[in-house]
Amino acid sequence: MIERDDGIPIITLASVTKRYPHDIVALDDITLSLEKGEFCFLTGPSGSGKSTLLKLLYFAEQPTSGDIFIEGINIKTIKEAHKPIFRRKIGVVFQDFKLLQDRNVFDNVALALEVVGFSHDQIAYRVNKVLESLGLGGKGRRFPQELSGGEQQRVAIARAIVNRPPIILADEPTGNLDSVRTMEVLDIMDELNARGTTILFATHDERLFEGTRRRVVRLRDGRMEVGY
């Protein structure tokens, strides 16, 4: 499923600044591009702006100034009505999972496909396949509170990837997991990346990328540290 590389970065931030009320500068003049198929870690201490950067990319916040391009399209120019379609290019994995507690595992994952209008059969096929690939084959009827933290995190990943988005944004996806579960999540991300998915993985945990050859972007007080 590797897309043809047309040379356009899949994500670009151009001189992006984000200020929150009370003059908090969460991101200060960030310029950064990710190539298609890249796996990039985003790191930095608490409050350095990692989550803010991801929020700008999944449309949860807007930049105060600067431009963001996804697949070469300036997101400022996307009409409100087209945003949901565009948003589906991006799967998001949150640290706190954000699973719906009153829906079972199958339905949590199916929701992402229901809104797109897949048929009942297509949904069943895709959801079961993704649950199996994440080792959750027998867990479809369970509710989130009946699962371990690691299992809940895998459901959150299943939900993010079930519609096969070209981009995965992961915000501290291993923050609540022990080291074995953490390695599992890293393996899943590696596998998705090997299939062509671009991954931006935010974590303050340096151990996750120690010794890796993957790119590491470091933030400090909203600025990118020199060297990248």
Ligand X SMILES: Nc1ncnc2c1ncn2[C@@H]1O[C@H](COP(=O)(O)OP(=O)(O)OP(=O)(O)O)[C@@H](O)[C@H]1O
Please report, as ranges, the residues that interact with ligand X according to CB under 6 A.
20, 24, 26, 44, 46-52, 204
- Minimum distance, C-beta of residue 148 to ligand X, in the bound complex (Å): 23
Residue 48 binding target from ligand X, Mg ion, none, CB below 5 to 8 Å by type: ligand X
Pair of tokens at residue 85: 């379609």
Question: Nearer to ligand X by C-beta: 95 or 198?
Answer: 95
- Minimum distance, C-beta of residue 77 to ligand X, in the bound complex (Å): 25
- Minimum distance, C-beta of residue 6 to Mg ion, in the bound complex (Å): 32
Residue 87 binding target from Mg ion, ligand X, none, CB below 5 to 8 Å by type: none
| Secondary structure of the chain in HEC code, one letter for each residue | CCCCCCCCCCEEEEEEEEEECCCEEEEEEEEEEECCCCEEEEECCCCCCHHHHHHHHCCCCCCCEEEEEECCEEHHHCCHHHHHHHHCCEEEEECCCCCCCCCCHHHHHHHHHHCCCCCHHHHHHHHHHHHHHCCCHHHCCCCHHHCCHHHHHHHHHHHHHCCCCCEEEEECCCCCCCHHHHHHHHHHHHHHHHCCCEEEEECCCHHHCCCCCCEEEEEECCEECCCC
Question: Nearer to Mg ion by C-beta: 139 or 218?
Answer: 218
- Minimum distance, C-beta of residue 104 to ligand X, in the bound complex (Å): 29
- Minimum distance, C-beta of residue 100 to Mg ion, in the bound complex (Å): 22
Residue 44 binding target from ligand X, Mg ion, none, CB below 5 to 8 Å by type: ligand X
Residue 49 binding target from Mg ion, ligand X, none, CB below 5 to 8 Å by type: ligand X
Question: Nearer to ligand X by C-beta: 103 or 204?
Answer: 204
Site residues for Mg ion per CB under 5 A = 50-51
